[in-house]
Structure 1
């Protein structure tokens, strides 16, 4: 199965660590985040992976070479000339997903024991165009999900901004996006002409016509490793 790892971010929340290395090579227990992500995907059956790069791109490419691509097929989507955001990043890598099968998109800066095969099966069962992993956790930005697990909007609780995406008669639930998604390749032909765009904003723009669902995984652990304080939590979590 195929997957993409978003690894092109600048890692601004991890400064000063990311002044000398990319976020993807920041370590937890002497293991780079990229290696943790690749091993997670490999153990879940994903053996063809594309990784986008921008910040300290050469270091990531050399790291993968030194590990012999972890014994699987790994390709690079080069964004050194222009950082494309999540939507543009996926669009640039679309050539990789030519087998007409749903694929995984996974942020490099997360740590979770989420069951990716269970999520993949959930996506196939509902025949969604996109399935987003979500959970109950405190944040400022929430996806608004109805009782049928459909994405109906987005809310920023700090600014009060609300984006409505789909009409529903059910109650809406505030759930936080986990940085993990299963995507049907049909989505690639619907993407806008712009080079740089947010994937979540794009999904919201098509949610009234396309089935975008939420996969809840509250029973698992999850950490955002894009923050220094979370790296310390991850160290303790992996020790235990």
Structure 2
């Protein structure tokens, strides 16, 4: 199974750190955020990675290189303009092949064990969900007996962690360009084609300086 790290975000809320540094190379605990993913994926047995990038993306290629020093092979999918999550993955499909693949947002930090996702996929998507963080109290989806459905007001919900396994068929009918992943997931949910799991370990969406400080604190505690 291949894995894709989504690294095309501009990170505007992390300015001035991201004025001259792409968001995935912002450091926590003395190491770029994206390097935590590369090392964790390698440890979990993923040795073929795809990384998309846009804003200052050449810096990411210069830093990670071909992946050899991490024990992996990295292919890059550069985007002249950010294509959003769905469009970025769709553009990279020729590099990902015909089998299901893991995808992880480059701007999260987590101790999730990616090896848990190295198993057959019976649906079009499998999502890792987390408890709703303070900055996203309404959540995204519902999880019921292993099946994921859209969130309903007034009912318990969970937040999409930015970690999933996707079947290339999820993108059937898509056209090149910028588009979001969520509508494709909701279409698959309506067809009963999305499974999920709840992760209760450490997870931070590193979108602000305050949340970057949360990662620094967790690392200092030996997470």
Q: Same fold (TM over 0.5)?
A: yes
Residue 141 of structure 1 and its aligned partner are, at CA, apart by 4.7
Does the alignment pair 1:227 with 2:208? yes
**Which residue matches 1:129?**
124
User: TM-score, normalization: structure 2?
Assistant: 0.89
Q: Distance in 2 between matches of 1:141 and 1:202?
A: 20
**Which residue matches 2:168?**
185
Query: Over residues 196-223 of structure 1, what are the superposed CA-to-partner deviations in whole Å (9 max), with x where a residue is unaligned?
Result: 11111221123222511121112x1111
Q: Distance in 2 between matches of 1:216 and 1:120?
A: 17
**Which residue matches 2:85?**
86
Does the alignment pair 1:112 with 2:93? no
Query: Over residues 60-112 of structure 1, what are the superposed CA-to-partner deviations in whole Å (9 max), with x where a residue is unaligned?
Result: 11112296563321011010x221000000000000122x4321101111111
1:18 is paired with a residue whose SS is: coil
Q: Distance in 2 between matches of 1:46 and 1:191?
A: 28
1:132 is paired with a residue whose SS is: strand
Q: Distance in 2 between matches of 1:153 and 1:25?
A: 33
Structure 1 runs of 4+ off > 3 angstroms?
66-69
Residue 131 of structure 1 and its aligned partner are, at CA, apart by 0.7
2:158 is paired with a residue whose SS is: strand
CA contact (8 A) 1:85 1:198 kept: yes
**Which residue matches 1:41?**
41
CA contact (8 A) 2:125 2:164 kept: yes
Q: Distance in 2 between matches of 1:172 and 1:208?
A: 18
**Which residue matches 1:213?**
195
Residues 146 and 31 of structure 1: is their aligned pair in 2 closer, same or farther, counting only changes over 3 Å?
closer
Q: Distance in 2 between matches of 1:146 and 1:34?
A: 28
Stretches of structure 2 lacking an aligned partner (at least 5 in a row): none
Aligned residues: CA RMSD: 2.1
User: TM-score, normalization: structure 1?
Assistant: 0.83
Alignment size in residue pairs:
219
1:174 is paired with a residue whose SS is: coil
Aligned pairs for 1:1-240 (under 5 A) are 1-65=1-65, 68=68, 70-79=70-79, 81-98=80-97, 100-121=98-119, 124=120, 127-138=122-133, 139-154=136-151, 173-188=156-171, 190-218=172-200, 220-239=201-220, 240=222
CA contact (8 A) 1:7 1:24 kept: yes
Residues 152 and 117 of structure 1: is their aligned pair in 2 closer, same or farther, counting only changes over 3 Å?
same
